[in-house]
Amino acid sequence: MTVFSRIAAAAALALLMVSGTAIAQGASVAFGGLKHDASLPVEITADELSVDQATGSAVFIGNVVAGQGEMRLSAGRVQVQYATENGQATGRIDQLIATGSVTLVNGAEAAEAEKAIYSVSSSEIVMTGNVILTQGQNALSGEKLTVDLTSGSGRMEGRVRTIFQTGGNK
């Protein structure tokens, strides 16, 4: 995460705490911008790659960016788990496990967290650890964000804090 994005995230969180905050334990929210086609190919770039044929995994380290269509996932480290059949890796990606300043961007929506697990076959992303989601001028924070990329629906859990802009000027 860049210094600018950390400052912006901190400012958004401070704004959440100071002004008209709605607080809940869990919140369902529409994630239309995070709707996504998981059948598209995944492209990954990084500073380093380690492959373990025995476990059927690959680990990308350093400035990792994984792209699929319009969606971008960046992190310090991304482990790729391949699907297996009869104990053999198929070459199909099952999961991407991202750690270290994780950022997910799709369209005008962006989310940051400490960890993210993208299950490609179920088209679901689970982000955990100090999650901050921005949707235009709205911001939402919590400990766990689960997004169904097929439907564009999601759920934020764990001491949820949010600000919804009403559009009114007073």
Q: What is the pTM of this model?
A: 0.76
Q: List the single range of 3-17, 54-68, 107-121, 128-142 with lowest mean pLDDT.
A: 3-17
**CATH top class, domain 3-163:** mainly beta
Using CA atoms, how far apart are residues 85 and 38, in angstroms rounded to an integer? Answer: 20
> Residue 91 burial by CB count (10 A; 0-12/13-18/19+): exposed, middle or buried?
exposed
Highest-confidence range of 19-23, 27-31, 71-75, 88-92, by mean pLDDT?
Answer: 71-75
**CA nearest to 76, candidates 58, 96, 91, 62:** 62
Higher pLDDT, 150 or 6: 150
Give the residue extent of every domain in the chain: 3-163
Which residues are CB-contacts of 15 (< 8 A; sequence separation ≥ 6)?
139, 163
Band of pLDDT at residue 11, cut at 50, 70 and 90: very low
User: Could you tell me which residue, 98 or 83, shows the higher pLDDT?
Assistant: 98
